[in-house]
Structure 1
Amino acid sequence: MSDLLLTGLTVLIAEDDPLIAMELEDLLTDYGATCLAPVGSISSALTLIAASRFDVALLDVNLRGERIDPVADCLATVGTPFLFTTGYGEDGLPSAHRHRPVIAKPFSASAIVSALARHRPS
């Protein structure tokens, strides 16, 4: 199905919509990535960041009514790259992280895969 563009990449998915989270996980594994169990809350994301190793994160900007800012700040502090997934546009992004890559919702499979392939750590 794919040429496994994401082989060797471990991804954290922070998404509170279970269907979107499952679709992302399926898509990424189809392209060779390993996904940590998707998280749907800020506290779960912060716990997973502290306890796990991964290469990159996909962050919805709003998890159950809470802004993703603490998660983005934590990832920036530890030097882990991340991309935002959002339907809110640039104004919905944490102001300190507006320079980060954004994948607009609704997104296509090719948009997700190509963005991760472009922004994967070396």
Structure 2
Amino acid sequence: MTDQKTLRVLIVEDEPIVAMDLAEMVEGWGHNVVGPASKRANGVALAESEDIDFAILDVNLGRGETSEAIAAALRARGIRFMFLSAHKAAAIDFCMGEDVMQKPVIVSQLETRLQDFADTTFSQQAI
């Protein structure tokens, strides 16, 4: 990416390999990773306490857990995020208009979304 704006990105993903891949991609694009968290409780704790610019949340966290409480914590702090899911947005009961990226993730689309968010965020801060 050119003219890099660095974001602090929370990653919540229960599959260790996927979480590691996401973290490597995000760091490779010049951003800082918060987490990754693999369980709801860890994700909520990070969402409530860490300095975060953006978050990427897997919808289903295994063993009947979802990222619903994490999304609520981020919304309460005004932190933007997107969901990752094998399902469409209409199938996610707790999606309130947030962006949903289908799994498997298309790397170029994720990079573009993060860059667009960074550009928007930093241009608004400059005003």
Q: Tell me whether the two structures share a fold, i.e. TM-score over 0.5.
A: yes
Structure 2: how far apart are the matches of 1:15 and 1:9? 18
- Structure 1 runs of 4+ aligned residues shifted over 6 Å read none
Q: Is the 8 A contact 1:15 1:39 kept in 2?
A: yes
Normalising by the residue count of structure 2, what TM-score does the alignment of the two structures yield? 0.85
Per the alignment, in what secondary structure is the counterpart of residue 36 of structure 1? strand
Q: 2:8 is matched with which residue?
A: 10
Q: Structure 1 residue 109: deviation in Å?
A: 1.1
Structure 2: how far apart are the matches of 1:93 and 1:4? 34
Q: Structure 1 residue 118: deviation in Å?
A: 2.0
Q: 1:116 is matched with which residue?
A: 114
Letter matched to residue 21 of structure 1? A
Gap change, CA 1:26 and 1:5, over 3 Å in 2? farther
**Percent of aligned positions that are identical:** 27
Letter matched to residue 56 of structure 2? L
Q: Is the 8 A contact 1:13 1:36 kept in 2?
A: yes
Q: Structure 1 residue 59: deviation in Å?
A: 0.4
Letter matched to residue 78 of structure 1? R
Tell whether 2:61 aligns with 1:63: yes
Q: Structure 1 residue 69: deviation in Å?
A: 1.2
Q: 2:90 is matched with which residue?
A: 91
Gap change, CA 1:74 and 1:108, over 3 Å in 2? same
Moved more, 75-84 or 87-96: 87-96
Q: Structure 1 residue 5: deviation in Å?
A: 6.7
Tell whether 2:54 aligns with 1:51: no
Normalising by the residue count of structure 1, what TM-score does the alignment of the two structures yield? 0.88
Q: Is the 8 A contact 1:5 1:117 kept in 2?
A: no
Letter matched to residue 58 of structure 1? I
Per the alignment, in what secondary structure is the counterpart of residue 47 of structure 1? helix
Q: What is the CA RMSD across the aligned residues, in angstroms?
A: 1.7
Ranges in structure 2 where 5+ consecutive residues have no aligned partner: 123-127
Ranges in structure 1 where 5+ consecutive residues have no aligned partner: none
Structure 2: how far apart are the matches of 1:92 and 1:5? 37
Letter matched to residue 115 of structure 1? R
Q: Is the 8 A contact 1:5 1:31 kept in 2?
A: no
Q: Structure 1 residue 115: deviation in Å?
A: 1.4
